[in-house]
Every structure is written in structure tokens, then in C-alpha cells.
Amino acid sequence: MHFFSKTIGERTAPGTRNAVSEQAYVFFCHAREDGYTGIVIADSEYDKRVAFSVITKSLEQFTAKYTKETVDRATARDLPFPEIETMLTKYQNPAEADALLRVQRDLDETKIVLHKTIESVIGRGEKIDNLVERSNDLSASSKVFFGQAKKANSQCCIVM
């Protein structure tokens, strides 16, 4: 993985982003114009936007901590960066760490609830349609019964 990461980092043009799939992993690479490059290795399910967000934030924190001159003179061992551990822990679950994904997840849940509610309302609408139809049938039957009762009553009055 180290060799593959290094190769991708070297081949990504400054100012561009790149995502390369290798077996079960995706290597997300962001090479900045100032010469810094960040790489995130994640599984294929990991959100692309979040991966590049992790790289961007990591590079911002790193460049705020170390100047270009310090980085050019030092080896990787001379540049401790414990902040990366905190960030990687935070981004283990991208839906919790990323506000946009959290909102998207909430929207998806709301959409499911709305679909269920709409389906139940439609079901009730069908029941209401059945009740209206039965009511119309009952109304027609009542009119027929009323007409027959009126005829029967009129014949009763004549006999008297």
C-alpha cells in the first residue's frame, strides 16, 4: 500500500484530485499547487467527498503547524502529526463526522417516513371512496324505500 500510495502521489498533477481503485480499496489523492499531497486509503463504500474533505483539512492543519522550509529540511519522522489520529478516528463514520452526509441520512429517513404516511393516507382515501360509494348506494336505497312507503301510506289513507 505504501508503494502504491507513493506512486499515485507522484503521478497526480499539482492542483488535481484523483481516486484510484485497487482491489478492495480506493486511494484518494489530492495534490495541492504548493507541493503538498495527501492520500486517504478507504474501502470502496467510503464517500468520495468526505475522503477529499479529510485530506483538505489534514493538509490545512499540517501546513499551519509546519512551514515549507521545515518540511523541506526534515524527514517524515521529524514531523510528528498526532492530529491525524484524531481526525481519522472522527472520520471512521463519515455520516457522523460530515454535516452534509448527516443531513442526507436524516432526509433519507424522513423520505421513508413520508412514503409510509402517504401510502397510509392513500389507503384511507380508498376506504373513504368505499364509504362514499356505500353512502350513495344507501341514499339510493333510501329514496326507493321512501317512494314505496309513500305509495303504501297513500293507499292506507284511501281505505279509511
- Whole-model pTM: value is 0.59
Beta bridge partners of 154: none
- Cβ pair 37, 25 in contact under 8 A: no
- Cβ pair 59, 36 in contact under 8 A: yes
Query: What percent of the chain shows pLDDT beyond 70?
Result: 91
CB-neighbour burial class of residue 92 (10 A; exposed 0-12, middle 13-18, buried 19+):
exposed
102 and 77 belong to one structural domain: no
Q: Which residue has the higher pLDDT, 89 or 127?
A: 89
29 and 67 belong to one structural domain: yes
B/e letters for 2-28, b = 16+ CB within 10 Å, e = fewer, are eeebeebbeebeeeebbebeeeeebbb
Domain extent at residue 125: 98-160
The residue out of 45, 69, 95 marking a domain boundary is 95
26 and 86 belong to one structural domain: yes
pLDDT at 79: 86
Per-residue pLDDT tens digits for 60-107: 999 999 888 888 888 877 888 888 888 888 888 776 667 777 777 788
The residue out of 95, 112, 145 marking a domain boundary is 95
* Domains in the chain, number: 2
125 and 156 belong to one structural domain: yes
The residue out of 40, 73, 95 marking a domain boundary is 95
33 and 105 belong to one structural domain: no
The mean pLDDT value for 38-42 works out to 92
CATH number at residue 77: 3.30.450.50
